[in-house]
A and B are shown apart, each in its own frame.
Chain A
Amino acid sequence: MERTLTYAEAIREATEQEMTRDPAVMVLGLGVADHRAIYGTTHGLLERFGGERVLETPLAEDGMTGVAIGAALAGLRPIHVHIRMDFVLLAMNQLVNIAAKSRYMFGGAVSVPLVVRAIIGRSWGQGAQHSQGLHALFMHVPGLKVVAPTTPHDAKGCLIASIRDDGPVMFVEHRMLHSLRGHVPAEAYGVPFGRARVLEPGDDVTLVGISHMVLECLRARALLADVGVRAEVIDPVSLAPLDVDTIAASAARTGRLVVVDTGWTTCGASAEIAAAVLERLAGAAVVQVRRLGFAPVPCPTTRMLEQLFYPNAQHIAATAYALGTDDTTAWAPLGGTEAPEVAEFRGPF
């Protein structure tokens, strides 16, 4: 029988295996050593590795990011966990001005092997400050890598690759993915940076989903299949570096590209992907492009408005279908059911 773990268990397993392999690996953050253990992702690590390597921190995101960078300069490989990506805004100075720049501005004399785990929240009224997908901010900055794995398999492999990388990596995880179950090999393995995955093949339209939106793209693919549209679903996995080749090759073949982000579209990851693909294909293929993402407002808390804030499988399917016609009301799938992982979510937050 195939070995399966949840996404959260995969992160925990990757962390434990790397901490066992390399005494330089440590975890720090608010909540990493408490009974909730960041949704179980750090469960048992304190007991196994002790409080020096599983460090519960003060509420000081800026200072503790600097501490993590300093520890990395001294040769440790810290994993700094933020239970919400919103809180990483407090660490932007250290991440952008120091972590991203140190190797370059010191001419290669130092490296900063730092992993920052940033969790995007959603559902049950998370609201404006517990729901932001800010990965595009980090994609903008040379010197930072950004990964946003969707499957438990890639969560484990990307985290191991991030820990072993000698530069700073933003590891983006979505709260709606932590319970997702899937095949995860028992041994340690790395998923390489800069390589997208074609999750499902199709010839009519290319759907690129980021993080949790991959699940919605897969659901949209099923809806589109009902009306005879065959969608190819691609998970970039790694946002910086970005595998433009794979996405561009698919878009050149289908002629239609829908990029769906768990973030805003303006200057967002979807804008970067669309622009990179169109530049790559300039003159070689004509591709129609649409972007979907958060509504351009702060995230509201009431469920009624929250449902309108996020793209869902129905939006994605209708948008993809309309790309092939002049009539934007040509077809929309029936119903408006919420994704089960969203509808069923009651915490922990």
Chain B
Amino acid sequence: MHARLYRSLYRVRRVEEEIARLYPTDRIKSPVHLSIGQEAVSVGVCEALAAGDVVFGTYRSHALYLAKGGDLRRMIAELYGKATGCTRGKGGSMHLIDPAAGVMGASAVVATTIPQAVGYAYAEKLRRRPTVVTSFFGDGAVEEGAFHESVNFAQLKRLPVLFVCENNRYAIHTHQRDRQAMESIAAFARAYGLFAERIEDGALAAIHDAACRAVAAIRARMGPRFLECLTYRWREHVGPGEDFAAGYRTRTEAEPWMAGDEVARAGARLDATERRRIEAEVEAEIADAFEFAERSPLPAAADLYAHVS
């Protein structure tokens, strides 16, 4: 399992770094909200899910898409605006989807996919299917009414939903303390009667263990569960660079998270030969995906009017 987790973490990190490296060339004509620093949440939770389970995400979903098994070639092609992209050039970085992998989409409007995850779970329960649906969202989403409406309904109907709040403390550039009266987001869920866990150190093992407990309970028809995972965004809200000079946060705040980098820690658990093998395989896959995007065709003009309704 260590090897699989490291591969998943390293793959996300390196894809994001390649996107950031290439971004100044303008080959990627799409805003990018990079997952660097937050990989362990998606990887730890998705490792606890079955292939047939379903996830819904946010505009910062590169990690989720990849961790759940989304197609890398089609993701990079989408960032390039190519016809081979996962949404044929219609959605870009913020609307990644791969239904075959259970990645049911991401939205650029905060909190909007939370009720969709709940509704998907309602449909699966109605048809007596064993699917667990996981809703990923950020700390800003819990300020939206849709979050509260969704959690209440999921608990009311005992739906098979795992709510995962990736709390990186910032809604764009505004800290949670300037937006919320309480510090614990898990407390919101508990107020609606959900069992909720709060993982404060961002550790992959802790996230994965908590997700396994939650998924087991959900599969045992005990109703929805809630995880609040504290994490940290290393790069700017949108774009490839760092923004510690912008004034709204300090590098000092980030340093403990960078020192405890889960990608490096997971790699250190492997022996050097295995680690190098995994890294080489991932690098080859990434190079192939960018080449695929480069050589893929742009959409045809007629595609403008395709798939409207």
Q: A residues touching B (Cβ–Cβ < 8 Å)?
A: 26, 52-53, 57-58, 60, 62-76, 93-94, 97-98, 100, 102-110, 142-145, 167-168
Question: B123–A75 contact, CB under 8 A?
Answer: yes
Asked if B150 is at the interface (CB within 8 A of a chain A CB), the reply is yes
Residue of B nearest to A144 (CB): B309
A100 nearest CB across to chain B (Å): 8
Question: A58–B120 contact, CB under 8 A?
Answer: no
Cα–Cα distance between A69 and B117 once the two chains are bound (Å): 9
Asked if B14 is at the interface (CB within 8 A of a chain A CB), the reply is no
Contacts A67-B115, A109-B99 given; indicate if A97 touches B109 (C-beta within 8 A).
yes
Count: A-B pairs, CB below 8 Å: 138
Point out the residue from B85, B88, B121, B150 that lies within 8 Å of A63, measured CB to CB: B150
Interface residues of B in 53-101 (CB under 8 A from A): 56, 85-91, 95, 97-99
* 6 extra interface residue pairs, beta carbon distance < 8 Å, beyond A63-B145, A103-B308, A106-B105: A58-B153, A62-B115, A67-B115, A70-B118, A70-B123, A74-B123
Asked if B245 is at the interface (CB within 8 A of a chain A CB), the reply is no
Residue of A nearest to B129 (CB): A74
Asked if B261 is at the interface (CB within 8 A of a chain A CB), the reply is no
Question: B119–A143 contact, CB under 8 A?
Answer: no
Question: A103–B307 contact, CB under 8 A?
Answer: yes
Cα–Cα distance between A100 and B107 once the two chains are bound (Å): 13
Cα–Cα distance between A102 and B105 once the two chains are bound (Å): 9
Interface residues of B in 108-148 (CB under 8 A from A): 109, 112-124, 126, 145-146, 148
Question: B119–A93 contact, CB under 8 A?
Answer: no
Residue of A nearest to B145 (CB): A62
Find chain A residues with CB under 8 A from B98 CB.
109
A74 nearest CB across to chain B (Å): 4
Nearest 10 Cβ contacts at the A-B interface? A70-B119, A66-B115, A63-B149, A107-B88, A70-B116, A74-B123, A67-B119, A107-B87, A60-B149, A108-B307
Q: B residues touching A (Cβ–Cβ < 8 Å)?
A: 56, 85-91, 95, 97-99, 104-105, 107, 109, 112-124, 126, 145-146, 148-150, 152-153, 156, 306-309
Question: B156–A76 contact, CB under 8 A?
Answer: no
Question: A62–B309 contact, CB under 8 A?
Answer: no
Find chain A residues with CB under 8 A from B95 CB.
105-106
6 A-B residue pairs with Cβ-Cβ distance under 8 Å, sorted by A, are A67-B119, A68-B119, A74-B124, A103-B307, A103-B308, A103-B309
Find chain B residues with CB under 8 A from A73 CB.
104-105, 116, 119-120
Cα–Cα distance between A342 and B120 once the two chains are bound (Å): 41
Contacts A66-B112, A110-B99 given; indicate if A105 touches B91 (C-beta within 8 A).
yes
Question: A71–B122 contact, CB under 8 A?
Answer: yes
Point out the residue from A63, A109, A167 that lies within 8 Å of B309, measured CB to CB: A167
Find chain A residues with CB under 8 A from B306 CB.
108
Find chain A residues with CB under 8 A from B115 CB.
62-67, 69-70, 94
Cα–Cα distance between A62 and B111 once the two chains are bound (Å): 11
Find chain A residues with CB under 8 A from B150 CB.
63, 66-67
Residue of B nearest to A68 (CB): B119
Question: A58–B119 contact, CB under 8 A?
Answer: no
Cα–Cα distance between A157 and B97 once the two chains are bound (Å): 34
Find chain B residues with CB under 8 A from A71 CB.
119-120, 122-123, 126
Residue of A nearest to B149 (CB): A63
